[in-house]
């Protein structure tokens, strides 16, 4: 597959807490410059670097780190339609296809146009209290409404497209993208969805005498989660949670932006990655 677009202005960003990723980002940047490309590198959290991304100074971002780095790169790049190539230096790397030792070969393929672009849906979430919007966010993985510090379940009245669905009595409720189906949703017993799907996945966390099955909603659905308890919070893509008061509502629907990932070879990479990670369980292969 030969792509029609070849990036010429590339920024390489590492995670500030992963020293090795920042070092590798510098090496990648030097290689790009040796190929005659305009390139810069630095921390993904650096204000000047982020401003340059917002200003349209780059047409590709190479993210060096773990899955969290890819999530944050997605948040940064999606509104500006900038594709992302990931170089994995983390533990799992569900979102990655390129390992640290392979980036030079993959960059050469990229510059030869031998790649394809994968689009992944983002969610848009908004927090309401007494009809007033208190904040909005975008998520690549998930939006989670769950209990706070107290060890007791909460009640979450849930509607889909303004039609009452059920009231969950649980530790929480996950509204996930297909991307997020291999994250917290997977750990909570949800199904794995192909990454290109634009469905919303609802998964209760530790439900108590309540609906205990995941629900896959059609594309375009809107989910409303109203907290009927105290001691609840909302977290978007695992970020610092926002406190929710009783009767607060969180609405979730497909966002307008999509994250674009640079991919190589056939789309079956997703399933090869998946089975490789699943087979990392230390008990696999041991006698029973």
For residue 141, the 8-state DSSP code is S
Rounded Cα distance, 139 and 11, in Å: 23
Structure tokens at 173: 């409720």
Between helices 67-77 and 47-54, what is the axis angle to 10°? 50
Longest dimension (CA), the chain: 62
> Which of 72, 62, 67, 71 minimizes the C-alpha distance to 102?
62
Rounded Cα distance, 245 and 215, in Å: 26
Structure tokens at 260: 């674009």
* From 67, 142, 171, 251, the catalytic residue: 67
Phi-psi region of 93 (alpha: psi -120 to 50; beta: other; left: phi over 0): left
Is residue 266 annotated as part of the catalytic site, yes or no?
no
Rounded Cα distance, 203 and 268, in Å: 26
Rounded Cα distance, 173 and 158, in Å: 9
Structure tokens at 70: 């890819």
Computed from CA positions of residues 76, 78, 82, 84, in that sequence, does the dihedral angle turn out positive or negative?
Answer: positive
Residues annotated as part of the active site: 67
């Amino acid at each position: 597959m030969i792509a029609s677009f070849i990036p010429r202005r590339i920024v390489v960003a590492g995670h500030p807490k992963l020293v090795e990723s920042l070092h590798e980002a510098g090496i990648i940047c030097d290689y790009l410059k040796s190929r005659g490309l305009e390139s810069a590198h630095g921390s993904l959290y650096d204000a000047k670097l982020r401003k340059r991304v917002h200003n349209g100074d780059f047409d590709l971002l190479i993210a060096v780190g773990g899955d969290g780095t890819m999530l944050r790169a997605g948040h940064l790049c999606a509104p500006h339609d900038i594709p992302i190539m990931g170089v994995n230096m983390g533990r799992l790397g569900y979102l990655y296809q390129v390992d640290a030792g392979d980036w030079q070969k993959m960059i050469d393929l990229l510059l030869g146009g031998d790649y394809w672009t994968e689009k992944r849906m983002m969610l848009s979430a908004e927090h309401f209290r007494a009809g007033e919007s208190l904040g909005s966010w975008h998520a690549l993985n998930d939006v989670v409404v769950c209990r706070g510090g107290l060890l007791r379940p909460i009640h979450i009245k849930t509607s889909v497209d303004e039609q009452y669905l059920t009231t969950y009595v649980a530790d929480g409720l996950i509204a996930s993208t297909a991307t997020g189906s291999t994250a917290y949703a997977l750990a909570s017993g949800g199904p794995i969805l192909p990454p290109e799907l634009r469905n919303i996945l609802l998964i209760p966390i530790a439900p108590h005498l309540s609906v205990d099955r995941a629900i896959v909603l059609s594309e375009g659905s809107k989910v409303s989660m109203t907290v009927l308890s105290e001691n609840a919070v909302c977290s978007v893509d695992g970020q610092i949670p926002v406190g929710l008061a009783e009767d607060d509502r969180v609405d979730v629907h497909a966002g307008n932006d999509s994250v674009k990932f640079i991919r190589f070879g056939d789309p079956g990479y997703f399933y090869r990655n998946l089975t490789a990670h699943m087979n990392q369980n230390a008990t696999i292969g041991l006698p029973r």
